[in-house]
Chains A and B, each alone.
Chain A
Amino acid sequence: MSAISELSSLTKRKGPVTAEEKKANGRDNKAAYIFLLPWLVGLVAITIGPMLMSLYLSFTDYNLLQPPEWTGLDNFIRMFSDARLHNSLGVTFTYVLVGVPLQLAVALLIALVLDKGLRGLPFYRSVFYLPSLLGGSVAVAILWKQIFGTTGLVNQALAMFGIQGPGWISDPSTALSSIILLHVWTFGAPMIIFLAGLRQIPVMYYEAARVDGAGTLQQFWRITLPMLSPIIFFNLVLQIIGSFQSFTQAFIVSGGNGGPSDSTMFFTLYLYQKGFGQFDMGYASAMAWFLLVIIGVFTAINFIAAKYWVFYDD
């Protein structure tokens, strides 16, 4: 069961609380809170406290040296006219809206090929999964920067066919695409979730469909896709939330400045520059809350849209 499904099942009532249960509730309280102590301290000191603090700071001007100065909605109004911020939103949206569907499509495709009782599955699964583990590292981002450099691996390969490739990373029109490609390259983790999901589809559905004369494609559209839709949904929510927060790849590939000409200036990279480059902590906090709202809206849209395309068996 996923965290997302648990969360929504919490709102369902399980029936009245009996007197016995109430007694049991009282009995374990002390032990429970002792076991929860590290987490509770962390929740207050590392999560909720800082959240409230950043909400406050987002209404202030604060540079770490002087005490925060209340400026009301100034930071948010500033965001309206900040062209670099608008650009960074565009870059991030492009990354999420192109990268995530592309990555999930590849993950699903490979999972489908791997699913049908093929020999050597553990080997293939490892090969496809490895990039997922390494993809977030600085080392791979450095490698990527070289592969898509003017004299990099990609252009060397193209040169063998007599094609003069562009300077992918140094050209504003292609720089973001190479980072998106890096994201697609790490499709292994969603692929494994898809594989686990495919395993759960009862074989008898396919058998029945075959008896009725359904072809491979028809079986995919009528059985696999609907039965897998909760998992596609789960991957989608997870990947979108994660992709909005991408940082390392853009930072390394662009040399830390979102270049060329801000074409890889992700929202998080801009936030980093404001907060930890220029110590404009108030503005950075406002940006962080804006990011939270954006992610919240995207997740909400996902959940609303899910009613129309996610299929539940029961």
Chain B
Amino acid sequence: MMTKLQTLPAPDKESAGAGTPTNHRKPRKARESRGTLAFSRAARSKALMKHAILILAGGLMIYPLLWMVVSSLRPNDLIFREPGLWLNSLEMSNYTDGWSALTHPFGHYMLNSAIVVIGSILGNLISCSMAAYAFARLQFTGKKLFFGIMLLTIMLPFHVVIVPQYILFSQIGWVNTFWPLLVPKLLATDAFFIFLMVQFIRGIPKDLDEAARIDGAGHPRIFLRVILPLMVPALATTTIFTFIWTWNDFFGALIYLTDPDMFTVPVALRAFVDSQSATSWGSLFAMSIVSLLPVFLVFLFGQRFLIKGIATTGIK
């Protein structure tokens, strides 16, 4: 079952920069360039055609996003008359108007989101790495069973638990606090991160912790001093994915955060849609851009980990 996936490289087997498929393609490229002149000319025109198709397809993919950026800088009456990307003037008022259109300045919602995101990241890093250490390195009764349950929870639709979870948290009085969004992360409910880290720890040579054990180190020390420092790439992947998913999380925020004071960015944006008449699309687009900016920045700087995380475990 899934044998091909089993041969996917573990993240640790690749050196820091060698994670991109291009490096693995080098032998084939070299072989192709050794062909005859006629062959290489045909190959070149074929490659050129591919580039043309890819640039066209890529342009089509990115166009809506570029259009939104440009539209956020246009006067409202022009937005729905301009399919192009050219700008005659910069309309910064969309940003200033949008920033203060709701009861709080938009920064307030970004701060709320930041609190939830940072808490979620810490929660996931601590709880998932601990569980992963146990699953990857320790022998204990019921290990197989627990590991199987953990894998199953990855595939469990969250709707099956959301109703009672809501009832539970509302009875504790946690509706309109960040706790319903943070506590599940502290309790390692994002099980695919456990799985990701288990995979990673399995790639770390066992000799290292055995040497530490001979030196008299217990499990807490081996975990903190040997394993954790070595699994930084897996922790980085977890951090980045948690950031993006939590920042984008709409459903959780929608049901638990009904007080505008507590709104995170996605619910605030939605409130924006409801509160504005159809004439302020510029501001709406402007705040949409603001809300996407952190995700975009994380994408820009964390790409390597994002790609590896997906390629090795299939997380989205």
Which residues from chain A sit less than 8 Å from chain B, CB to CB? Answer: 1-10, 21, 24-29, 31-33, 35-39, 41-43, 45-47, 49-51, 53-54, 57, 64, 110, 113-122, 124-134, 136-140, 142-144, 146-147, 149, 151-153, 156-157, 160, 185, 189, 192-193, 195-197, 199-200, 203, 227-228, 230-231, 233-235, 238, 241-242, 244-245, 247-248, 251-252, 255, 268, 271-272, 275-276, 281, 284-285, 287-289, 291-292, 295, 299, 312-314
Contacts and interface: CB of A to CB of B under 8 A. Distances in A.
Contact of B285 (A113, A114, A143, A287): A143
Size bin of chain B's contact surface = 35 or more
- Most-contacted residue by chain B among A42, A114, A115 (CB, 10 A): A42
A46 B138 contact: no
Interface stretch (B34-42, B100-108, B166-174, B230-238): B166-174
Contacts of B299: 126, 130, 133
Contacts of B277: none
A133 B250 contact: no
B16 interface: no
Contacts, number: 341
A35 B47 contact: no
Contacts of B189: 42, 46-47
A128 B61 contact: yes
B314 interface: yes
A2 B314 contact: yes
Given A54-B164, A147-B64, A200-B4, A32 B311 contact: no
Contacts of A238: 314, 316
B181 interface: no
7 contacts: A3-B195, A25-B139, A127-B61, A247-B250, A255-B273, A272-B255, A276-B166
B214 interface: no
Contact of A281 (B152, B167, B312): B167
Contact of A42 (B6, B143, B158, B188): B188
B316 A242 contact: yes
